[in-house]
Amino acid sequence: MSVDSLKPNRSRTRRGAVVKDVISRWTFMVPAIVLLVAVLAYPLLYTLQISFSDFDLATFAPSSWAGTGNYEDALGDENFLNSLVVTGIYLVLALPLQIVLGFGIAFLLNAEWRGRGVVRALFLIPMVVAPVVSGGIWKIMLDPLWGVITWFLGLFGVQPIDWFGDAGMAMISIVIIDTWRSVPFVVLIAAAAMLALPKDVFEAASVDGANWWQTLKSISLPMLAPIIAATFIVRWLGAVKMFDVVVATTNGGPGQATNVVNLYIYRQAFQLLEFSTSSAMAIIVLVITMVLTFVFLWGSKKLEDRL
Amino acid sequence: MTAVNPPVASHRRRSAKAHRTRVWSGVIVCILFLLPLVWMLLTSFKQQRDIFSSPPSFIFEPTIAQYVDVLTRGGFAGQMLNTVIVAVGASVLSLIAGAMAGYALSRLRIRGAGVIGALILASRGVPPIALAVPMFLVARSLGITDTHITLIIAYCSFIVPYVMWLMRGFFLALPKELEESAMLDGCSRMGAFFRIILPISLPGLLSTFIFSIILAWEELLFALVLTNRNATTFPVAIAGMAGDTENGANWGALAAAGMITVIPVVILALLVQKWLIRGLAEGATKG
Amino acid sequence: MSHRNTQRSHRKAVIAIASISAFAVTLTACSGGGGSDAPADGGGLGTADKHVKITMMSNDAFAETWQEQLVPEFNKAYPYIDVTIDSTPYDSLLAKGLLNGTSPSPDYDLITLDDPWTPQLAEAGVLLDLKSDAAQWTEDDYDWDDFNSAPLASSEWDDGQYGVPLRSNLLVMLYNKDLYAKAGLPEPTPELTWDQYMEQAPELVQDTDGDGAVDSWAVGLTWVRGVLSPPFWQTVLNSNGGALFDEDMKPTFDTDEGVAALQTQVDLLEYAPPGASTYNYNEPLDAFRQGKIATLFTWGSAYKSAAVDEAVTTLTPDQVGIQTMPAGSEGASAHRGIWSGSVFKNSDNPEAAWALLQWMSSKEGELWSSANLGSFPARKSTLASEPAEPWLAPVYTAIQSGFDVAADGEMWRPRSPDSNAIQEILANETSAAVQGDRTAEEALDRAASEIKELLEK
């Protein structure tokens, strides 16, 4: 009798404790989920809906079911596919450069000295300046006729380079400007991460006579791996949205050489008022970035486990 | 004992020189990086006709007319204020939600949270245009277009995933047993989070906070679509100035606007540096 | 056991998400749909006790000037109408206009529209037809016929008049008299032909300070990929009697004249400063202001900042001439660019809104605007009158002749609900030709087939 009456109680309290524990864990996720569902779920569902319909401008609402028509239009649009390629080229050039440069500079800036804080605060500024202004000032500096960089290079006998007029150079110029704007982010995250690294491991290594390359390879990199991966992923998602700098400098040209996908979709929607096609394109881009993000996440997890 | 001394001495000499090289390289890199800003600063003090001289003019008649032009433009002060309100509001909200979610993803074992986290993160890849128009439609039906709260919540859509993922990275770097000892002492999970994890992660938190502010600071598209005049932020004004097809864009004024709008963030960063250093010192003593 | 609990919480989460989304969808579904019709009485013009409030979404460039200078002047005639003018960046004006026009609770009564946008909004049915729907509120002395037909036509569509010209503009040729003198060439006259101009161009590339390096070039215009670039070769084509489209919107530019016109634009790049292939609106203007180029093909409104405003330019009005663009076989060429004002159909105060537009575009209003705000008029009477500033006199002459020419040759950007899409195709192909990626002929053939495909959809 007593045993039977005890058992249900104990299992109930254990279940209760487990439920409480799960709830307490989930509570951490709840604010973010609620916020994002409120703000992302409807727009994404709406975009999905109109990507499968024809859009009536007069009532500004989807009208009839169009099946996969919009997707076929999007995938058949040569310029859209080209913009995906252009964005891909930009990412391949910009991302590794920004990560390597960022962590390298962070290492330099982390040296302990009095001006460190001020230098770090100043380093922020390129990130903060309005993208339109950054792009415009860089365009003026790089101008073959009156740019100060052209003038400076001219002192060494370098002929004026058509930074924005030549298709290849235009992409490089965009990468340069974007790197200038985004490396501070990597630098500051990396600097914060490096600061949090326990110092005793490094002291032990230097006492053991390890040079900087060995320290880097066996100690710093493994410890920084999670942050490197996190920064890469965040920067990748930011870079996919490249838009302002291109508009301020090349406007997608020359030809289609810098017509990144975000700019192309923006034009489809805001100037051509093609809302259903642009929604289909946006969903396609979302799917691609989701797949790639999952790949990067899986890769970084493997990296973390190994190191 | 004596065998230890010589290596330590030479090692100290080596590391002092390496240290100095490091500091100086850092300074040089910093200067190189900031040169375009110097040019922007110079441009903001030039008359328009001096900006496009060939060869570029380093000596010119400086003027503050551009700054006056920007500051006296109708509504500029209001737009700056709106930007501050929206940026701080969105960042604080996102920091709370994002840090908690990042913590859950990094140190709490929750089934399915990983997938949800990955989805949240990947949602940042959606072109903002796809979100802006439906957001506008919802805001309009709720009657809250052109208000601060609409922008704040809209900005959370891209800041929360950002914060979440960054903080996850920072939390992962902390030793695994940190909150366990506190919880053994009877602390709740939430309590351990706020009392132990957060203070130690202060550098990460503050950096993420500043970046959230910066993300919100430069955001243009949502502000363009969701506001008309009451909650307009200054990126909209700058976009208008740059797209002037009547007189051509006034790059002097734009440079001035760029400089002015940078100042609040730099001040904030300098302040945060102080807390950062203090927080680090405390963290260091805790070992 | 914990597994079941997590499953339960998963389910709860999914239900929560679904219901929130469903709620949101119904919200928008309920409020979607067309706008309400204007009240039969038009909202009136206000009384001393009850002012009427109207709002206008306007291009950023003139919103502030209008709000601060024009509205007070307007209020002298209509003291009970409160006008708020919001500036909206150019790129988002069309989309926001459409969103506003289809809203059940619109924020704006008025909008300024750039040349090619009226067809799109008119087709969507969001604009008021001023000659029919608003006829009851039109003043008796509002003279429609005094308008030059070219600027008025920019807000006309499908036999309806959906707007009135507020700021008129024209592509013109500005030239630097000193540089022409240094090259030993006569100043351009209205009779100058494109062939003659192309002959003169190489001579305008000169070394003016004798240091052995070329420091002055012949020409600047918009070459960068964008919608401002095709109008140039379109103007050349028009001056030779060609047109972009025929009445049925079939491309008629993939002809020998079209190819020659585009080739002109490509060839002129040779005589332009380095980096000119990325010239948008600002860059050639800045080059001209610095005295680096002899000719500038741009909007006439640039004259003031190119020749008069000391803080901005190194040139003076004596040094800068203004002209219609060179002539082709059919006569001079011009290209119209008009900002018109339109009233939204779903406005609650169409009478007051139309009163504002009428005042702005009336004879008195135009005279006032051109004198005080420097905007260019559209009325024959205003252009024939004595301008307030002496340097405006040649500008007015150029504009009036430009309007005459533009009306004859239909010289403006393509007008159709698909005009933006058409312009993007033209922009892409023009840029490809300018870059040398394609020959002019290939570019135009591609553009023609892409546009045909677009219009068939």
pLDDT tens-digit series, residues A154-212: 889 888 888 988 888 999 999 999 999 999 888 887 887 777 777 787 788 778 877 77
Q: Are residues B137 and B11 in the same domain?
A: no
* Interchain pair B217, A196: CB under 8 A: no
C179, C327 in Cβ contact below 8 A? no
Across the interface, of A37, A60, A165, the residue whose CB is closest to C102 is: A60
Structural domains of chain B, count: 2
pLDDT at site A154:
87
Average confidence (pLDDT) over A132-139? 91
Q: Are residues B202 and B256 in the same domain?
A: yes
Q: Is the pLDDT of residue C7 over 70?
A: no
Banded model confidence at residue C27, pLDDT cuts 50, 70, 90: very low
Q: Is the pLDDT of residue C269 over 80?
A: yes
DSSP H/E element including C54: strand C52-59
Average confidence (pLDDT) over C319-334? 85
* Interchain pair A290, B125: CB under 8 A: yes
Q: Are residues B35 and B109 in the same domain?
A: no
Q: Are residues B10 and B105 in the same domain?
A: no
Mutate to test the interface with A, among B121, B179, B187, B226 (most CBs of A within 10 A): B121
Sequence-separated (6 or more) residues with CB below 8 Å from residue B62: B45, B46
Give residue A187's identity as a one-letter amino acid code.
Answer: V
Instruction: Say whether residue A63 is in contact with chain C using an 8 A CB cutoff.
Output: no
Over residues A262-282, the pLDDT tens digits come to 999 998 888 888 899 999 999
Across the interface, of C21, C25, C98, the residue whose CB is closest to A57 is: C98
**A contacts of C434 (beta carbons < 8 Å):** 254
Examine residue A254 and say whether the peptide bond preceding it is cis (omega within 30 degrees of 0): yes
Four-CA torsion B41, B47, B48, B51, nearest 10 degrees: -50
The HSE-up count of residue B253 (CA atoms within 13 Å, CB side) is: 22
- Show the low-confidence residues of chain B (pLDDT under 70): 1-14, 245, 276-287
Q: How many residues does chain B have?
A: 287
* Interchain pair B96, A42: CB under 8 A: no
Instruction: Name the minimum distance, in Å, from the CA of A22 to any CA of chain C.
Output: 7
Across the interface, of B39, B53, B100, the residue whose CB is closest to A146 is: B53
Pairing of strands C320-323, C293-299: unpaired
Q: How far apart are CA A49 and CA A157, in angstroms?
A: 58
Which regions of C199-304 does DSSP assign to beta strands (E)? Answer: 217-220, 293-299
B68 inside domain: no
* Interchain pair C32, A59: CB under 8 A: yes
State whether the Cα torsion A164-A168-A169-A171 is positive or negative: positive
Average confidence (pLDDT) over C173-187? 92
pLDDT at site A177:
94
Q: Give the Cα-Cα-Cα angle B24, B30, B34 (nearest 5 degrees).
A: 150
* Interchain pair A144, C20: CB under 8 A: no
Domain C170-336+410-456, CATH among 3.10.20.90, 3.40.190.10, 3.30.710.10, 3.30.2010.10: 3.40.190.10
pLDDT at site C456:
82
C neighbour chains, 3+ CB pairs within 8 Å = A, B
pLDDT at site C180:
93
C240, C231 in Cβ contact below 8 A? no
Q: Are residues B22 and B80 in the same domain?
A: no
Contact residues, A window 171-230, toward C, CB-based 8 Å cutoff: none
Instruction: Name the minimum distance, in Å, from the CA of A233 to any CA of chain B.
Output: 9
pLDDT at site A288:
93
pLDDT at site C115:
83
Instruction: Say whether residue B145 is in contact with chain C using an 8 A CB cutoff.
Output: yes
* Interchain pair A144, C274: CB under 8 A: yes
B111 inside domain: yes
SS3 for C57?
A: strand
pLDDT at site C33:
41
Percent pLDDT > 90 in chain A is 29
Which of C195, C224, C375, C385 lies closest to C301 in space, CA to CA? C375
pLDDT at site A251:
82
CATH topology of domain C52-169+338-406: D-Maltodextrin-Binding Protein; domain 2 (3.40.190)
Banded model confidence at residue C270, pLDDT cuts 50, 70, 90: very high
Provide the token pair at C225. 């990929």
B248 inside domain: yes
Instruction: Say whether residue B190 is in contact with chain A using an 8 A CB cutoff.
Output: yes
Q: Are residues B155 and B263 in the same domain?
A: yes
Give the lowest-confidence range in A3-7, A135-139, C421-425.
A3-7
Banded model confidence at residue C11, pLDDT cuts 50, 70, 90: low
Q: At B56, phi and psi to the nearest 5?
A: -60, 140
How many other β-carbons are positioned within 10 Å of the β-carbon of residue C84?
Answer: 15
pLDDT at site B97:
94
Full DSSP string of A108-174: HHTS--TTHHHHHHHHTHHHHS-HHHHHHHHHHHH-TTT-HHHHHHHHTTPPPP-TTTSHHHHHHHH
**Residue B166: domain span:** 74-286
Average confidence (pLDDT) over C392-406? 84
Instruction: Name the minimum distance, in Å, from the CA of A2 to any CA of chain B.
Output: 31
Across the interface, of C13, C28, C428, the residue whose CB is closest to A256 is: C428
C146, C383 in Cβ contact below 8 A? no
Instruction: Say whether residue C413 is in contact with chain B using an 8 A CB cutoff.
Output: no
Instruction: Say whether residue B269 is in contact with chain A using an 8 A CB cutoff.
Output: yes
**B contacts of C95 (beta carbons < 8 Å):** 225
pLDDT at site B82:
94
Instruction: Say whether residue A269 is in contact with chain C using an 8 A CB cutoff.
Output: yes
Over residues C198-248, the pLDDT tens digits come to 999 999 998 888 778 888 999 999 998 888 899 999 999 988 888 888 888
Over residues C104-153, the pLDDT tens digits come to 889 999 999 998 889 889 999 999 999 998 899 998 889 999 999 889 98
pLDDT at site C40:
59
* Interchain pair A293, B276: CB under 8 A: no
Average confidence (pLDDT) over C410-434? 84
Domain layout of chain C by residue ranges: 52-169+338-406, 170-336+410-456
Alpha carbon of residue C414 to chain centroid: 12
* Interchain pair A130, B116: CB under 8 A: no
pLDDT at site C208:
82
Full DSSP string of C12-31: HHHHHHHHHHHHHHHHHHHH
DSSP H/E element including C81: strand C81-88
**C contacts of A165 (beta carbons < 8 Å):** 275-278
Banded model confidence at residue A10, pLDDT cuts 50, 70, 90: low
Sequence-separated (6 or more) residues with CB below 8 Å from residue C158: C119, C122, C123
Q: Are residues B209 and B250 in the same domain?
A: yes
Across the interface, of A23, A253, A272, the residue whose CB is closest to C431 is: A253
Q: Is the pLDDT of residue A4 over 60?
A: no
Which of C451, C446, C414 lies closest to C429 in space, CA to CA? C446
Q: Is the pLDDT of residue C30 over 50?
A: no
SS3 for C137?
A: helix
Q: Is the pLDDT of residue A90 over 90?
A: yes
pLDDT at site B153:
93
* Interchain pair C305, B243: CB under 8 A: no
B50 inside domain: no
pLDDT at site C28:
44
Instruction: Say whether residue B148 is in contact with chain A using an 8 A CB cutoff.
Output: no
Pairing of strands C217-220, C293-299: parallel
* Interchain pair B229, C215: CB under 8 A: no
Quick one: C318 exposed, middle or buried, by C-beta within 10 A (0-12, 13-18, 19+)?
Answer: exposed
Examine residue B134 and say whether the peptide bond preceding it is cis (omega within 30 degrees of 0): no
Average confidence (pLDDT) over C52-58? 93
Banded model confidence at residue C343, pLDDT cuts 50, 70, 90: very high
* Interchain pair A61, C95: CB under 8 A: no
**C contacts of B53 (beta carbons < 8 Å):** 290
Quick one: B177 exposed, middle or buried, by C-beta within 10 A (0-12, 13-18, 19+)?
Answer: exposed
* Interchain pair C290, B244: CB under 8 A: no
Average confidence (pLDDT) over C175-185? 92
B neighbour chains, 3+ CB pairs within 8 Å = A, C
Q: Are residues B253 and B124 in the same domain?
A: yes
B51 inside domain: no
Average pLDDT, chain C: 85
* Interchain pair C275, A252: CB under 8 A: no
Nearest chain B residue to A142 by CA: give it.
Answer: B36
Instruction: Say whether residue A211 is in contact with chain B using an 8 A CB cutoff.
Output: no
pLDDT at site B74:
77
Q: Are residues B86 and B25 in the same domain?
A: no
B62 inside domain: no
What's the predicted TM-score (pTM) here?
Answer: 0.86
C32, A55 in Cβ contact below 8 A? no
ipTM: 0.84
Q: At C337, phi and psi to the nearest 5?
A: -145, 105
Contact residues, A window 118-177, toward B, CB-based 8 Å cutoff: 118-134, 136-138, 140-141, 145-148, 151
pLDDT at site A279:
93
How many other β-carbons are positioned within 10 Å of the β-carbon of residue B175?
Answer: 8
Instruction: Say whether residue A246 is in contact with chain B using an 8 A CB cutoff.
Output: no
- Residue written as tokens 């600061």? A195
pLDDT at site C209:
80
Mutate to test the interface with A, among B66, B207, B222 (most CBs of A within 10 A): B207
Q: How far apart are CA A49 and CA A65, in angstroms?
A: 9
A171, A87 in Cβ contact below 8 A? no
